């Protein structure tokens, strides 16, 4: 039976033992009341909702999908009712400003909630998934009038929100978008154009939908510097209530590989009424508030998928009997076959999944805490430093965690053998559903370019240096302890990253394409560095607390060791690839070899 158990013990370990989240949060003025008990109470309640209400709807949503008829969308059976329960329990308001009806709790807790929602039902989670980003964007950039009218409904979740960026000709490159915004004398605008792939653009869960739409004002400069952001509601306001329907038509929904329960809609705007959010032609900057929140959330979707896939693969591996293992305990000697978990090949697959899941949970919650500090610390310098750190970690979280959401699901499916390929087993849905997270919210290739070019090279590596200095502190503290070996491995990696960044920056002056070529490798290198750093810290905690819970902390130490012995060595290969590309630039004024080969193929093929 496919199942989901909220991983509360590991969540507690990360929040309490590793990060001292409540201790740090309680130093921030809005969270002075937050303590461990409160955090775990919220996590337990969230886990109950996720596992008891959402998880049972996951396979139903996949099977039934969304239905489209005459501009209306019907979500799968049970989805709207589950949303009603979610809204009535106050979950959308968890981490929002009390001025607008929020509960004023930390983002960290919201992300714990979203990990469990994603683990249980990725498709359903798409509907409220953009609410927090929309809230953050409106809170920061909307006029007071728009805030008063829309924020309380977005905060409570009475109305859901969308993010309307993509058009058929404008995907990764939003500078190509064509939707137009025409200003009116009353300060509103009229929006015309077509958007595609809009998640939740139409649904039967809420009375109104708040669309956040990117469009161009007349005479706007071409490209991404000519884009503005607008709030365009499905129903226009009238007095305190809802007025007439805005001229937005849902023209269809996509039939797709996964997340069948999430309505991926095409929307037609025909002179729809909207209002600008933020400044003219600065829409992308305003939208980035939403996109950054969403990128963190999408990374957490990857973590959620990987967790459920791992849990089920583990259960299956403990039950499925095939062949005798090389090493058998005496009590199994008369049995014809052993559980497949006794075969080292299966242990490797399971441990790799586990090392990533636990490593990513540490990174996700560490970064969520950084977000809270960056928003609420009294010292502006601390806020700025945390903001810079988060900007560095966000593309890593988005790309590496969603890669593992998919690859971890594939590893889990492998453990099921042929049974994993059969729909009713349940795991293949996780493989299909998790695939999209590598694409939307900025593809993982775009994340790699963002990390290396915009976050590392653009400031001469300063932001990265600050991060590596923290890593170095942990290494220095562990270099003469029982964790000396992993500390040395991490130290080597830090030095290698520093060297390669310098070499890439140098080579880029004559070979501008080179950083783009090696960006995926650099993302995984810095990503491994951040996970290895947190594993080293987890190892320290496990050593110091081993007598409190010997089984749990021994397992933690074992997984820490596994990460350093079996997972981290991927970095040698990544470094080798970067070195090969750097080496190719030494051949007199040749561009990196890849573009040469592609050009040659283009000539041969034509
Ligand atoms: C199920 C689903 C839900 C979605 N939800 C939403 C939503 O709610 N709102 C919304 O606005 N959009 C949404 N999208 C759209 C999604 O964000 C885009 O599909 C995504 O941004 C990629 O754009 P594209 O599909 O046009 O691919 P393209 O941009 O055409 O990219 C094709 C390939 O080229 C690569 N590429 C492009 N440019 C570069 C570059 N500079 N460097 C390296 N590689 C590059 C990409 O990585 C990719 O592999 C959704 C899409 C799907 C399928």
List 193's β-bridge partners, or say none: 269
Q: What is the pLDDT of residues 429-479, one digit of tens each?
A: 999 999 999 999 999 999 999 999 999 999 999 999 999 999 999 999 999
Residue 207's SS3 state is: coil
Q: Which of 172, 254, 449 to mutate to test the pocket of ligand 1 (most atoms within 8 A of CB)?
A: 172
Closest Cα to atom 4, ligand 1: which residue?
Answer: 197
- Report the percent of the chain where pLDDT is more than 70: 99
* 603 has pLDDT over 90: no
Task: List the structure tokens of 490.
Answer: 């991490």
- Taking the mean position of all CA atoms in its chain, how far away is CA 560? 23
Assess contact for 205 and 75: CB atoms under 8 A.
Answer: yes
- Please name the residue whose Cα sits nearest to atom 23 of ligand 1: 171
For every residue of 307-363, which 3-state class applies, written as one string? HHHHHHHHHHHHHCECCCCCCCCHHHCCCCCCEHHHCHHHHHHHHHHHHHHHHHHHH
User: Does the structure show a pLDDT above 70 at 590?
Assistant: no
Residue 555 · residue 561 · CB < 8 Å: no
Q: By alpha-carbon position, which residue is closest to atom 29 of ligand 1?
A: 172
What's the CA gap between 598 and 504, in Å, rounded? Answer: 21
How far is the centre of ligand 1, averaged over its atoms, from the C-alpha of 333 (Å)? 54
Model confidence pLDDT, tens digit, residues 19-28 = 999 999 999 9
Instruction: Write out the two tokens for 28.
Output: 């921030």
Give the position, in ligand 1's atom list, of the atom nearest the Cα of 164.
Answer: 11
Query: Which residue's CA lies nearest to atom 30 of ligand 1?
Result: 171
Domains of the chain: 287-322+338-455 (1.20.140.10), 459-605 (no CATH)
pLDDT band at 423 (very low <50, low <70, confident <90, very high): very high
Q: Give the Å distance between the CA of 347 and the centre of ligand 1.
A: 36
pLDDT in tens, 69-102: 999 999 999 999 999 999 999 999 999 999 999 9
Contact between 104 and 155 under an 8 Å Cβ cutoff? The reply is no
Contact 31, 378 (CB under 8 A): no
Return the ligand 1 atom nearest residue 172 CA: 29
Contact assessment for residue 584 and residue 592, using Cβ atoms and an 8 Å cutoff = yes
Mean pLDDT, rounded, for 173-183? 97
What is the per-residue pLDDT across 478-505, written as a single tens digit (0 to 9) for each?
Answer: 999 999 999 999 999 999 999 999 999 9
Kindly tell me if the per-residue pLDDT of 251 is higher than 80. yes
Please give the pLDDT value at position 597. Answer: 78
Please report how the helices 550-562 and 344-376 are oriented relative to each other, as an axis angle in degrees rounded to 10: 100
Nearest residue (CA) to ligand 1, atom 42: 446
pLDDT band of 54, cuts 50, 70, 90 = very high
The answer to whether the beta carbons of residues 475 and 536 sit under 8 Å apart is yes
CA 361 to chain centre: 11
Mutation pick for ligand 1 pocket among 129, 166, 215 (CB with most ligand atoms within 8 Å): 166
CA angle 46, 126, 192 (to 5 degrees): 145
Q: Output the CA 463–ligand 1 centroid distance in Å.
A: 27
Q: Which of 291, 440, 446, 518 to mutate to test the pocket of ligand 1 (most atoms within 8 A of CB)?
A: 440
Burial of 335 (0-12, 13-18, 19+ CB in 10 A): exposed
User: Of the candidates 92, 27, 46, 112, which has an alpha carbon nearest to the alpha carbon of residue 367?
Assistant: 112
Distance 179 CA to ligand 1 centre (A): 17
Mean pLDDT of 415-441: 97
For atom 11 of ligand 1, the residue with the nearest CA is: 165
C-alpha 172 to ligand 1 mean position (Å)? 5
- Name which of 172, 39, 48 is nearest 110 in CA terms: 39
**Dihedral of alpha carbons 229, 230, 233, 237, sign:** positive
pLDDT score recorded for residue 592:
59
- pTM (predicted TM-score): 0.97
C-alpha 419 – ligand 1 centre gap (Å): 32
| Token pair recorded at residue 73 | 């969308």
Helices (H), 65-214: 79-88, 107-120, 122-129, 131-141, 144-156
Determine the atom of ligand 1 nearest the C-alpha atom of 262.
Answer: 1
Report how far apart the first and last C-alpha atoms of the chain are (Å, whole number): 53
Q: Which residues pair with 182 in a beta bridge?
A: 190
| Half-sphere exposure (Cβ direction) of 576: Cα atoms closer than 13 Å | 5
**pLDDT per residue as tens digits for the range 126-137:** 999 999 999 999
C-alpha to C-alpha distances, 327 to 341, 342, 344, 349, 378, nearest whole angstrom: 12, 8, 10, 18, 58
Cα distance between residue 553 and residue 547, in whole Å: 8
Q: What share of the chain is helix, strand, coil (3-state, %, to 5)?
A: 65, 10, 25
Closest ligand 1 atom to Cα of 442? 21
Q: What is the pLDDT of residue 287?
A: 86
User: From the CA of 563, how far away is ligand 1's center (Å)?
Assistant: 32
Residue whose CA is at the smallest distance from ligand 1 atom 2: 197
- Alpha-carbon distances, residue 271 vs 40, 188, 208, 238, 246 (angstroms): 48, 11, 18, 18, 9
pLDDT at 292: 82
What is the CB neighbour count within 10 angstroms for residue 558? 14
Mean pLDDT of 146-168: 97
Ligand 1 center from residue 450 Cα (angstroms): 15
Residue 606: pLDDT band by 50, 70, 90 thresholds? low
pLDDT at res. 604: 78
Q: How many angstroms does the Cα of residue 93 sit away from the middle of ligand 1?
A: 29
Q: Which one, of 115, 3, 61, lies nearest residue 426 by Cα?
A: 3
Q: How far apart are CA 89 and CA 345, in angstroms?
A: 44
Q: What is the mean pLDDT of the chain?
A: 96
Closest Cα to atom 32, ligand 1: which residue? Answer: 172
Average pLDDT rounded to a whole number, residues 151-164: 97
Residue with CA at minimum distance from ligand 1 atom 35: 445
Supply the pLDDT for residue 288.
83
Pocket of ligand 1 (CB under 6 A): 163-166, 171-172, 197-199, 256, 264, 436, 439-440, 443, 445-446, 449
Calculate ∠ Cα 299-301-307, nearest 5°: 110
Active site residues: 441
User: Residue 511: which residues within 8 A CB-CB, separation 6 or more?
Assistant: 585, 591, 592
């Amino acid at each position: 039976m496919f199942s989901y158990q909220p991983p509360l013990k590991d969540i507690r370990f990360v929040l309490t033992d590793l990060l001292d989240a409540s201790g740090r949060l309680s130093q921030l003025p809005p969270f002075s009341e937050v303590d461990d008990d409160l955090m775990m109470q919220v996590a337990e309640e969230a886990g109950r909702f996720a596992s008891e209400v959402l998880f049972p709807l996951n396979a139903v949503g996949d099977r039934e999908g969304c239905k489209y008829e005459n501009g209306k969308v019907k979500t799968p059976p049970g989805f709207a009712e589950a949303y009603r329960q979610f809204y009535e329990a106050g979950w959308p308001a968890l981490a929002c400003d009390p001025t607008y009806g929020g509960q004023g709790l930390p983002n960290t807790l919201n992300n714990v909630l979203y990990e469990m929602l994603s683990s249980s039902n990725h498709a359903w989670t798409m509907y409220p998934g953009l609410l927090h980003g929309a809230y953050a964007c409106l809170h920061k950039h909307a006029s007071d009038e728009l805030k008063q009218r829309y924020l309380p409904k977005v905060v409570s979740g009475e109305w859901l929100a969308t993010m309307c960026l993509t058009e058929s000709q404008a995907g990764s490159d939003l500078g190509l978008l064509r939707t137009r915004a025409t200003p009116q004398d009353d300060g509103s605008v009229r929006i015309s154009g077509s958007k595609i792939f809009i998640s939740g653009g139409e649904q039967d869960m809420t009375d109104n939908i708040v669309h956040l739409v990117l469009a161009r004002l007349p005479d706007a400069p071409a490209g991404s510097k000519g884009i503005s952001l607008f709030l365009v509601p499905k129903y226009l306001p009238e007095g305190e209530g809802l007025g007439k329907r805005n001229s937005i038509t849902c023209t269809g929904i996509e039939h797709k590989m996964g997340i069948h329960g999430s309505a991926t809609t095409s929307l037609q705007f025909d002179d729809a009424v909207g209002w600008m959010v933020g400044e003219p032609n600065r829409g992308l900057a305003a939208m980035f508030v939403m996109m950054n929140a969403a990128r963190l959330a999408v990374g957490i979707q990857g973590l959620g998928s990987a967790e459920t896939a791992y849990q089920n693969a583990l259960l299956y591996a403990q039950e499925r009997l095939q062949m005798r293992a090389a090493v058998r305990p005496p009590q199994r000697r008369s049995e014809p076959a052993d559980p497949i978990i006794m075969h080292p090949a299966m242990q490797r697959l399971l441990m790799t999944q586990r090392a990533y899941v636990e490593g990513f949970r540490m990174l996700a919650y560490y970064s969520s805490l950084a977000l809270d500090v960056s928003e609420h610390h009294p010292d502006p310098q601390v806020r700025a430093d945390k903001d810079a750190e988060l900007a560095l970690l966000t593309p890593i979280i988005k790309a590496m965690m969603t890669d593992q959401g998919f690859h971890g699901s594939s590893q889990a499916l492998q453990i099921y053998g042929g049974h994993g390929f059969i729909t009713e087993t349940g795991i293949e849905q996780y493989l299909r559903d998790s695939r999209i997270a590598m694409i939307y919210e900025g593809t993982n290739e775009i994340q790699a370019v963002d990390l290396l070019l915009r976050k590392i090279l653009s400031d001469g590596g300063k932001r990265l240096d600050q991060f590596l200095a923290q890593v170095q502190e942990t290494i220095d503290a562990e270099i003469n302890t029982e964790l000396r070996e992993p500390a040395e491995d991490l130290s080597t990696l830090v030095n290698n990253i520093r060297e390669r960044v310098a070499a890439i920056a140098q080579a880029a002056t004559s070979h501008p394409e080179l950083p783009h070529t090696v960006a995926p490798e650099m993302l995984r290198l810095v990503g491994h560095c951040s996970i290895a750093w947190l594993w080293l810290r987890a190892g320290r905690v496990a050593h110091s607390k081993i007598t409190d819970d010997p089984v749990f902390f021994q397992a933690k130490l074992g997984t820490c060791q596994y990460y350093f012995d079996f997972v981290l060595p991927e970095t040698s290969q990544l470094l080798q690839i970067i070195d090969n590309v750097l080496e190719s630039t030494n051949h007199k004024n040749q561009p990196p070899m890849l573009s040469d080969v592609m050009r040659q193929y283009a000539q041969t093929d034509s």
